[in-house]
Amino acid sequence: MRKPRLEHPLGVQILSGVLGWIVPWFLRIWFWTLRVTVLHPELQRRALLSGKNAIGVLWHQNFIFYAWYFRQRGYLVMSSWSRDGEIMVRVMRPLGYRHVRGSSSRGGAEAMHELVQRVRKGKTAAIVADGPRGPARVAKTGVVTAARHTGLPVVPAGAYCCRAKRLRSWDRTALPRPFSRIILSFGEPIQVPDRLTPDEVEVWRKKIEDEVTRLENEAEAYGRRVEEAWTSPTTRAR
């Protein structure tokens, strides 16, 4: 089956090209002001920084944090054929990411097949489990499909940003304010069996969803303690 051709209007192509040049430089300046705290760094090193391949799974609302944190590692991500997907590809390419194109509404099966094949050849993939259209914090079965066909472990991840602005989007995307602190939390790798019944696929999908949500809550709880410590009367008096 042939891949769908990209047929964006000229204006979208020009806009995405301009943003693809400007935004990476803006991110470098913006994120230079941020501080990052990693919970369970030993899990991160073992699962994602050891040179072994894996499939990182996260929620769409905190995608920007991970996109910056794991820049220039050649990770593989799936981007839709939409206008927003085209802009995302142009913006993330200078940050060292590689892309396969497709979504649940256009070319999704072909994109997942390509992602699986490229991961088998040595790529680490990052999957936004509830994207690109949601509902928020509900994992898609594509995560289980990728894991079972590649044999690679799923590494769940959660994040929280102190002093972030939330957009009015379906996922409430978080944009950190300058000089904020980002909390990243990584869980134990999840090994999905290669042979599953439809009911078992749902069980593993829910297991991954629950773990990512748990890590999100853990990161948020830690971040709120940090916020409370900085706003307490004792801290302000120092």
Name which residue leads in pLDDT, 5 or 135. 135
Q: CA–CA separation, 219 vs 28, rounded Å?
A: 23
* pLDDT of the residue at 2: 45
Tell me what pLDDT residue 223 has: 94
183: Cα separation from own chain's centroid: 14
Phi-psi sector, 74: left (phi>0), alpha (psi -120 to 50), beta:
left
Q: Is 58 exposed, middle or buried (0-12, 13-18, 19+ CB in 10 A)?
A: buried
Query: For residue 87, what pLDDT is reported?
Result: 77
Domain boundaries, the chain: 37-232
Q: What is the pLDDT of residue 83?
A: 74
* pLDDT at residue 227, rounded to an integer: 85
Tokens read off for 54: 């894996």
**Pick the residue with more confidence: 36 or 1?**
36
d(CA 204, CA 109) in angstroms, rounded, equals 20
* 233 Rama sector, left if φ>0, alpha if ψ -120 to 50, beta otherwise: alpha
Q: Is the pLDDT of residue 24 over 90?
A: no
Token pair in block for residue 194 = 């290669």
Alpha helices in the chain (DSSP H): 10-32, 41-48, 63-69, 83-92, 108-120, 142-150, 198-231, 233-237
| Secondary structure of 38-91 in HEC code, one letter for each residue | EECHHHHHHHHCCCCCCEEEECHHHHHHHHHHCCCCCCEEEECCCHHHHHHHHH
Q: Is the pLDDT of residue 224 over 90?
A: yes
Which pair of structure tokens corresponds to residue 8? 């964006």
14-18 CB contacts, 8 Å cutoff, 24+ apart = 15/87, 16/83, 16/86, 16/87, 16/89, 16/90, 16/91, 17/90
For 167, the 3-state DSSP assignment is: coil
For 57-92, how does the pLDDT look when each residue is reduced to its tens digit (9 = 90+)? Answer: 999 998 888 888 889 888 999 887 777 777 778 888
Which of 145 and 11 is assigned the larger pLDDT? 145
Pair of tokens at residue 61: 């609302």
Side-chain half-sphere CA neighbours of 142 within 13 A: 27
Of the options 3.30.70.360, 3.30.70.270, 3.30.300.30, 3.40.1130.10, the CATH number for the domain spanning 37-232: 3.40.1130.10
Residue-level pLDDT at 103: 66
pLDDT of residue 236 exceeding 60, the answer is no
Q: Using one digit for the tens of pLDDT, what is the confidence trace for 29-64?
A: 888 999 999 998 888 887 776 667 889 999 999 888
Which is higher by pLDDT, 140 or 132?
A: 140
Q: Determine the pLDDT at residue 186.
A: 93
